[in-house]
Amino acid sequence: MNSASQAGPGGRAITRSLPTHADVVIVGGGFAGAATAYQLTRMGIADVVVVEREAACGYHASGRNAALGRQLTEDDGFTAFTVRGCEFLRNPPAGFSDQPLVRQTGSLLLVDHRRDIDAMAARARRWNLPHERVTAAQLAQRWPYLHSVPTAGGVHFLTDGVIDVHAHLFGFLHGARKRGARIETNCEVIGLSPRGGAVAVETGRGVIQARCAVLAAGAWVGQVGRLAGAEPVQFAPIRRHLFVTETVPDLDRDAPFVWHVGAHEFYVRPEGNGYLLSGCDETEVAPSDVVPAQDAVEVLAAKLSPIVPALAGFGIARTWACLRTFTPDRRPLIGWDERLPWLFWVAALGGHGATGSAAVGETAARAIAARIAPR
């Protein structure tokens, strides 16, 4: 066994052993990695080790998102995951959670043109999503603070909602651990190389020999892929800012979240005593513990003031930044590497990881289990 000394209670040194062998090593303990580990153990593959560089899982994108459970996404490939993932959130398996993991507030997706409403409603019907059309006049009547937004109206999705992201992630990790998986934090991967038809995963705490490695490292997935010698994949980590306003009088905490998906993209939902806001800004950055830009609040005000002054007028109490990772075609990458038979990708979930993770993990686990038959 590999081992590493860590500080225990009272500062005493303790030794945490790292397994030397596993069926599957998953690099990354956010939603992608945790859900894959959970689903693998449900399928009977329990010899799984999740290695996470940070001191806690979900420190980066998985813990900093807006918790919006949006089922109809911009792409049917993502929607296939988010629809199934939301069903999991509404009805978690026995032992995962004793209550739903999404508060079903509904959502309102706004668009620029009436033809966009037609197209969105048609897609909603294909996916059997309960919905209703909303005209611009109805919008102004039902959500007065949005009366000035340039929009033709939108579609109200009745079964969307706000996710308890921390309980969701913990459920995956706890469920995987309960069935035998190991979750190793403070464990950075520094190399991956083929060894005897398998893979040696080198970490700062030792080497684990595994039958396959799963790359679920979020914004860092491209860097880890290069360590493995994979053909370059152009992953783009995109920074986005989020804000919470100061107290809003007469706030309706159960109102649906609103997402304008047209040219004036922004989203808003109740959060505590105020609103959670984002101007849906996108800046490609290097993978990092991303921090807000110095002018983030001013940029938000400049965008919202002309289109929704009722929101722009509230003071900002909190600001943070998150990373969403994309491929060039903005579609998820879930599958075996074309050249390296021991390497599997679960990457580029593009901000839909919290909603779609149960389905993403199941899809990945089925593909892995099909190749790694029980020994």
Place of tokens 């998102």: 65
What's the whole-number mean pLDDT along residues 304-310? 95
299: helix, strand or coil: helix
Q: Considering all CA atoms of the chain, what is the largest pairwise distance in Å, rounded to the nearest integer?
A: 67
* Gap between the Cα atoms of 296 and 273, Å rounded: 22
pLDDT, one tens digit per residue, over 330-352 is 999 999 999 999 999 999 999 99
Instruction: Determine the pLDDT at residue 12.
Output: 41
Encoded tokens for 151: 């929009």
Q: What is the pLDDT of residues 259-280, one digit of tens each?
A: 999 999 999 999 999 999 999 9
pLDDT at 4: 54
Provide the CB-side half-sphere exposure for 100 (13 A, CA): 16
Distance CA 169, CA 163 (A): 11
Res. 319: pLDDT tops 70? yes
Mean pLDDT of 69-75: 96
pLDDT at 7 > cutoff 80: no
Inter-residue contact 320 to 331 (CB < 8 Å) = no
- What is the rounded average pLDDT of the residues 157-170? 98
Q: What is the pLDDT of residue 8?
A: 42
- In angstroms, the Cα distances linking 351 to 88, 121, 173, 356, 365 are 18, 23, 20, 10, 21
Domains of the chain: 2-62+166-233+329-371 (3.50.50.60), 107-158+236-326 (3.30.9.10)
Strand partners, 50: 26, 183
Contact call for residues 208 and 19 (beta carbons, < 8 A) = yes
Predicted pLDDT at 145: 87
The per-residue DSSP string of 19-30 comes to -SEEEEEEE--S
Asked whether residue 11 carries a pLDDT value surpassing 60, the answer given is no
The pLDDT assigned to 14 comes to 40
| CA–CA gap between residue 224 and residue 200 (Å, rounded) | 13
Residue at 218: amino acid letter: G
Cβ neighbours around 336 below 10 Å, total: 16
